Structure 1
């Protein structure tokens, strides 16, 4: 288990240090271990830290809980994804309140070229269910990754529809990965870990408390290029997520419904207020996003001459896999001898071009 992960997990457990401040600390000191190694006087001088937060960092002593989490991560092959690392979702860098640390169980690429969130009411009408399934099925040829919250209703319908047509699908959870809410979706969740994954910013042992769901919604909104609202009342989690996506300057799309229908009221309000664009089919989504339906984002063959188009840094990193078939991200940093920012960019580009595959535990494999 990488030593840096020990301090990364610890950083998330310090009182008075939330995600925003934690990310500023990383930007300032360079790593979580450097934050813990810093003298109190230096911590106090860091942006927005001051005496109270510096004291909280220096006085943190709950390392037993950190070690417990590391054992859970290792036992269940959880992939921790920390801010600044290659596997961290690039789209979340544009969200000021994004998590500093994510926990992922699955096979999906969190930086897939095309990602869309599909959300809606927990009690969809027959029309809403049909349209959700139809929309996701029609998106199959785009290779898009479908993101949702694994809740009752539209969420799980979208996940199931994605599984049916072979699309990666990611469920963002409002609790730790040692439990599942709702429990009725256990079979779907198990399928998703093989064809997508489960993602959360909560440590194991965290219950699905009410206040966690609005926080979960920021990841659903931030992880994707666009958020599609299938059906929604005038209040509820779907409109909160749509509002967050809009605040992130992401595309919000909504299916229209009948005037006077309470389950369509939220979508109609989004369209009326111009916070969402009206769509009626997958072709509308493809056109609005500027996608090419003829070319699947995940099924398109890699051209034979792709290697010659790689940067020198990317070629150098690929050469490291000649001696070993698999390398941990820390090994890549050390063996490459390149600056961290260059390694992060190169590894991400190699994933996007299907030259590298990220395995559980931040281990990379040449494809």
Structure 2
């Protein structure tokens, strides 16, 4: 086990003994960074760690041995990124719930490249499936990395479209790397690890919880320049990511077909907000994004004819 793995294991031990409170663990870990070498095996500094958390050494030792087997079994190809690592994606640093470590399998440098997330429902319509594929192709054609969450439906289609067309893609997981959810995407997960990258904020010893997937969406939004919600239901995970994107002052793209669908409320609630773009065609996404970044426009729903022609004319 290398020194960074030891450091991550030590941190996860603190998380576990702090009842999964990352805030408490991070506070103790930050103090430990000043007082001792956090890359050394945990038991060498058991007393110091126990003192930092004001906890019995026996409880701390038990937490360490609970976490240790999963780290020892971690695939040797996994890179553990810490804030100090040269491949750490600095675009996530200023946002809420920034992880202390990231676990990456594949090409970790993809996380530092400009990316756009393509997300949506697990049960898309035929039009949604087509738009997901076209979105990934349009993004890849303009040299952006296609990001998504490996879920069934829109996510999986976006990843597969990128791979099929030779474009880079990374998947942000809601589970540790040693798990696969959904199980139907086990082979896709392996393929992305070979030809793109898998990234998780969850240590191998973590027991997956339902709320992990919201943290996954927060991280995916933070990693990406923009999120494209192809289709989703009210209250769905992609809609939650849309909220995170605006909270993080990222860009958000919604298809006109979603706005026109009167079965859902969320498209209209987002469409008039700053940094949100309603597009008709997949090829509009990278072009409009580039213009927005260049001019720093904060455009809501396009309502005036003159503005609409400006945004969507070739």
Look up the match of 1:5.
5
Please give the alpha-carbon distance, in whole angstroms, between the structure 2 residues aligned to 1:132 and 1:273: 23
Please give the alpha-carbon distance, in whole angstroms, between the structure 1 residues aligned to 2:196 and 2:116: 13
After superposition, give the CA deviation of every residue in 1:95-153 in whole Å (9 maximum; x if it has no partner): 13111111111124244331111111111111111111112112222221111111111
C-alpha contact 2:138 2:286 (8 A) present in aligned 1? no
C-alpha contact 1:78 1:105 (8 A) present in aligned 2? yes
Look up the match of 1:71.
72
Look up the match of 1:171.
171
Please give the alpha-carbon distance, in whole angstroms, between the structure 1 residues aligned to 2:160 and 2:168: 11
Please give the alpha-carbon distance, in whole angstroms, between the structure 2 residues aligned to 1:162 and 1:173: 17
Distance 1:57 1:281, change over 3 A: farther
Please give the alpha-carbon distance, in whole angstroms, between the structure 1 residues aligned to 2:36 and 2:86: 18
SS in 2 for 1:209: coil
SS in 2 for 1:252: strand
C-alpha contact 2:116 2:139 (8 A) present in aligned 1? no
Look up the match of 1:332.
none
Measured after TM superposition, the shift of residue 162 of structure 1 is 0.9
Look up the match of 1:350.
none
Once the two structures are overlaid, the 10-residue window that deviates more, 108-117 or 231-240, is: 108-117
After superposition, give the CA deviation of every residue in 1:226-279 in whole Å (9 maximum; x if it has no partner): 1111112221111111111211111112112253443x5433331134462212
C-alpha contact 1:11 1:32 (8 A) present in aligned 2? no
Look up the match of 1:101.
101
Please give the alpha-carbon distance, in whole angstroms, between the structure 2 residues aligned to 1:169 and 1:147: 6
Distance 1:39 1:64, change over 3 A: closer
Once the two structures are overlaid, the 10-residue window that deviates more, 267-276 or 251-260, is: 267-276
After superposition, the CA RMSD in angstroms is 2.9
Measured after TM superposition, the shift of residue 84 of structure 1 is 2.4
Where does the alignment leave 5 or more consecutive residues of structure 1 unmatched?
45-50, 292-367
Look up the match of 1:55.
54
Once the two structures are overlaid, the 10-residue window that deviates more, 89-98 or 103-112, is: 103-112
Please give the alpha-carbon distance, in whole angstroms, between the structure 1 residues aligned to 2:262 and 2:227: 22
Measured after TM superposition, the shift of residue 54 of structure 1 is 2.8
After superposition, give the CA deviation of every residue in 1:173-209 in whole Å (9 maximum; x if it has no partner): 1222222111111121121111212211223254543
Please give the alpha-carbon distance, in whole angstroms, between the structure 1 residues aligned to 2:35 and 2:161: 40
Once the two structures are overlaid, the 10-residue window that deviates more, 105-114 or 122-131, is: 105-114
After superposition, give the CA deviation of every residue in 1:286-343 in whole Å (9 maximum; x if it has no partner): 233327xxxxxxxxxxxxxxxxxxxxxxxxxxxxxxxxxxxxxxxxxxxxxxxxxxxx
Please give the alpha-carbon distance, in whole angstroms, between the structure 1 residues aligned to 2:30 and 2:24: 10
Please give the alpha-carbon distance, in whole angstroms, between the structure 2 residues aligned to 1:217 and 1:256: 23
Look up the match of 1:321.
none
Distance 1:113 1:176, change over 3 A: closer
SS in 2 for 1:202: coil
Q: Does 1:156 align with 2:156?
A: yes
Q: What is the aligned length?
A: 280
Look up the match of 1:304.
none
Q: Does 1:231 align with 2:197?
A: no
Please give the alpha-carbon distance, in whole angstroms, between the structure 2 residues aligned to 1:26 and 1:84: 14
C-alpha contact 1:257 1:267 (8 A) present in aligned 2? no
Please give the alpha-carbon distance, in whole angstroms, between the structure 2 residues aligned to 1:57 and 1:165: 55
SS in 1 for 2:179: coil
TM-score by length of 2: 0.78
Distance 1:63 1:218, change over 3 A: same
Distance 1:193 1:4, change over 3 A: closer
Distance 1:113 1:289, change over 3 A: farther
Q: Does 1:252 align with 2:252?
A: yes
C-alpha contact 1:108 1:195 (8 A) present in aligned 2? no
C-alpha contact 2:11 2:29 (8 A) present in aligned 1? no
After superposition, give the CA deviation of every residue in 1:57-87 in whole Å (9 maximum; x if it has no partner): 97622332343233123x4421111222212
SS in 1 for 2:112: coil
C-alpha contact 1:9 1:101 (8 A) present in aligned 2? no
Please give the alpha-carbon distance, in whole angstroms, between the structure 2 residues aligned to 1:191 and 1:207: 24
Look up the match of 1:330.
none
